[in-house]
């Protein structure tokens, strides 16, 4: 009985400690992530400790003058270290944060041969094993603002747009950093910031941030702020400004006389007037200014015409590689991820290609998480892109892995035929690509369906069956 009372007292004390830690005001001078790992410890006052102190001092002094990032190793390659400051921090703020981290890491992870210490403004990491350019996608830390948004549906939709856009921007920028804002209401904005360690490739950076964004519905849906982080990337959003604006790039030259940019096309939302409003959103194109277009096309070079020269056309081998890459990504989301992820907005504009034409699925703003036993979900608010949505989702709001597979099938048809599903005008009888392909198949006119613009018409029946 006495032992039971002691156990209950310990349990009560533990619960009180957890509650206090969870609800306490965040201390900006305290680390937000501490990972102490490694197969063994080093000995105090050993050569390893001496080398580690020298390495951490070098990181803290070199990173601020190197754009906020530095990684190096000891001369004998027994310790590898990395330091990085948040992209909006000044060199002075960066130096202060890294010096504090270099000192605190010894008390936070005493005598450990691997450690990660992250403050809100900087990251310090070291290991006796080489980890440079190696992606870690497990979210190891979450901080949540306990306040809820007033309209969580609109909040989550706008947050998804913001973070997916920032993730793409960061993956394409050498700094691996992006910040920005988006309207939540007429009077309130959402502010977001994402960052990867600069030793990662652009595709690995995007993968890391995409994993973090996909985890948001399970932990932070409708919350006014959150921070998710692991050793490779960091994500934060709030309903009030929290970052220092990064200096904008120089303004582009004024347009030539007679050239004006068309006004942005207004986004329309159609409502059936019912209590549960259904929203179907579609974006046909993005508008770019003249200077950006001129730079991207090398002053409108003939060799860079769309579908010619440097941008294509795609042969069947490359098309098959893209299809296979999308399929592998979908398999990961549905079967291999820790939680089953239903994307719900799989379409051509949400597939990113790197320089080697490897396909990556992006934009998880509408994604839903399923537990391992769940097979289907229902919603009265239908969001997605018309033409890619499975009938049961568009009509009844039912979604599952089959919904994504339907969207994948539409993508495959677009790739094989070289035709867009939206804005279809190839036939007077067919109003969309699926109907057109069905009619051509019934009429045994497959040769007219497959894209004739491919540089090679040869493709095995096994690959398209």
Tell me if 337 is assigned to some domain.
yes
Do residues 181 and 118 both lie within one domain? Answer: no
Residue-wise pLDDT tens digits, 190-238: 999 999 999 999 989 999 999 999 989 989 999 999 999 999 999 999 9
The model's pTM is 0.53
331 lies in which domain range?
304-464
Q: Which of 100, 127, 154 lies at the terminal end of a domain, its last residue?
A: 127
pLDDT of 426: 57
Residue-wise pLDDT tens digits, 328-341: 999 988 888 777 88
Q: Which of 127, 158, 175 lies at the terminal end of a domain, its last residue?
A: 127
Do residues 369 and 313 both lie within one domain? Answer: yes
More confident residue, 442 or 9: 442
Do residues 322 and 414 both lie within one domain? Answer: yes
Q: What is the CATH number of the domain that holds 233?
A: 3.30.430.20
Do residues 199 and 105 both lie within one domain? Answer: no
Q: Which of 215, 238, 261 lies at the terminal end of a domain, its last residue?
A: 238
pLDDT of 304: 60
Tell me if 293 is assigned to some domain.
no
Tell me if 20 is assigned to some domain.
no
Tell me if 16 is assigned to some domain.
no
Do residues 122 and 182 both lie within one domain? Answer: no
pLDDT of 415: 86
Do residues 123 and 190 both lie within one domain? Answer: no
Give the pLDDT band (50/70/90) at residue 19: very low
Do residues 224 and 93 both lie within one domain? Answer: no
Give the pLDDT band (50/70/90) at residue 327: very high
Q: Of 96, 120, 230, 345, which is the active-site residue?
A: 345
Look at residue 51 and tell me whether its pLDDT is greater than 60: yes
Which residue has tokens 């007219």?
448
pLDDT of 278: 36
Tell me if 451 is assigned to some domain.
yes
Tell me if 410 is assigned to some domain.
yes
Q: What is the CATH number of the domain that holds 315?
A: 1.10.510.10
- Average predicted confidence (pLDDT) for the chain: 78
pLDDT of 34: 92
Region 126-141: what's the mean pLDDT? 86
Do residues 91 and 147 both lie within one domain? Answer: no
> Does 138 qualify as catalytic in the annotation?
no
Give the pLDDT band (50/70/90) at residue 463: very low
Q: Based on the structure, what is the number of domains in the chain?
A: 3
Do residues 120 and 145 both lie within one domain? Answer: no
pLDDT of 269: 37
Do residues 177 and 225 both lie within one domain? Answer: yes
Do residues 215 and 317 both lie within one domain? Answer: no
Give the pLDDT band (50/70/90) at residue 441: low
Tell me if 23 is assigned to some domain.
no
More confident residue, 366 or 150: 150
Region 427-439: what's the mean pLDDT? 67
From 241, 229, 249, 240, select the one nearest 84 (Cα to Cα).
229
Do residues 95 and 157 both lie within one domain? Answer: no
Tell me if 7 is assigned to some domain.
no
pLDDT of 108: 94
């Amino acid at each position: 009985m006495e032992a039971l009372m002691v156990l209950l007292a310990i349990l009560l004390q533990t619960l009180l400690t957890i509650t206090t830690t969870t609800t306490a005001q965040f201390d900006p001078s305290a680390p937000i992530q501490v990972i102490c790992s490694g197969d063994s410890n080093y000995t105090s006052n050993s050569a390893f400790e001496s080398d580690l102190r020298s390495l951490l001092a070098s990181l803290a002094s070199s990173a601020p003058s190197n754009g906020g990032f530095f990684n190096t190793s000891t001369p004998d390659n027994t310790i590898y270290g990395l330091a990085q400051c948040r992209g909006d921090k000044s060199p002075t703020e960066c130096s202060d944060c890294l010096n504090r981290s270099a000192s605190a890491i010894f008390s936070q992870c005493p005598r450990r041969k691997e450690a990660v210490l992250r403050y809100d403004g900087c990251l310090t990491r070291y290991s006796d094993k080489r980890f440079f350019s190696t992606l870690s996608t497990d979210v190891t830390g979450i901080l949540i603002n306990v306040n809820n948004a007033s309209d969580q549906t609109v909040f989550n939709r706008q947050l998804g747009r913001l973070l997916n856009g920032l993730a793409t921007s960061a993956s394409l920028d050498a700094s691996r950093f992006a910040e920005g804002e988006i309207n939540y209401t007429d009077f309130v904005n959402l502010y977001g910031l994402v960052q990867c360690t600069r030793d990662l490739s652009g595709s690995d950076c995007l993968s890391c941030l995409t994993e973090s964004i996909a985890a948001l519905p399970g932990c932070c849906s409708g919350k006014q702020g959150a921070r998710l982080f692991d050793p490779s990337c960091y994500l934060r959003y709030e309903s009030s400004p929290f970052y220092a604006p990064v200096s904008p790039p120089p303004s582009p030259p004024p347009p030539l006389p007679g050239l004006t940019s068309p006004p942005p096309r207004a986004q329309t939302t159609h409502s059936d007037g019912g209590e549960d409003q259904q929203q179907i959103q579609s974006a046909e194109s993005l508008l770019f200014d003249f200077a950006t277009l001129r730079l991207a096309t090398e002053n409108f070079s003939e060799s860079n015409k769309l579908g010619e020269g440097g941008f294509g056309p795609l042969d069947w081998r490359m098309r098959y590689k893209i299809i296979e890459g999308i399929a592998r990504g979908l398999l990961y989301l549905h079967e291999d991820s820790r939680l089953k992820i239903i994307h719900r907005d799989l379409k051509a504009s949400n597939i990113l290609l790197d320089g080697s034409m490897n396909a990556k699925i992006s934009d998880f703003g509408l994604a839903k998480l399923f537990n391992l036993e769940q097979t289907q979900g229902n919603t009265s608010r239908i969001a997605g892109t018309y033409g890619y949505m499975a009938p049961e989702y568009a009509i009844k709001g039912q979604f599952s892995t089959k919904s994504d597979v339907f969207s994948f099938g539409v993508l495959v048809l677009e790739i094989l035929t070289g035709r867009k599903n939206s804005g279809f005008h190839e036939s007077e009888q067919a109003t969309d690509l699926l109907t057109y392909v069905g009619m051509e198949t019934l009429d045994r006119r497959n040769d007219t369906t497959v894209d004739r613009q491919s540089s090679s018409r040869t493709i095995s029946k096994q690959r398209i069956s």
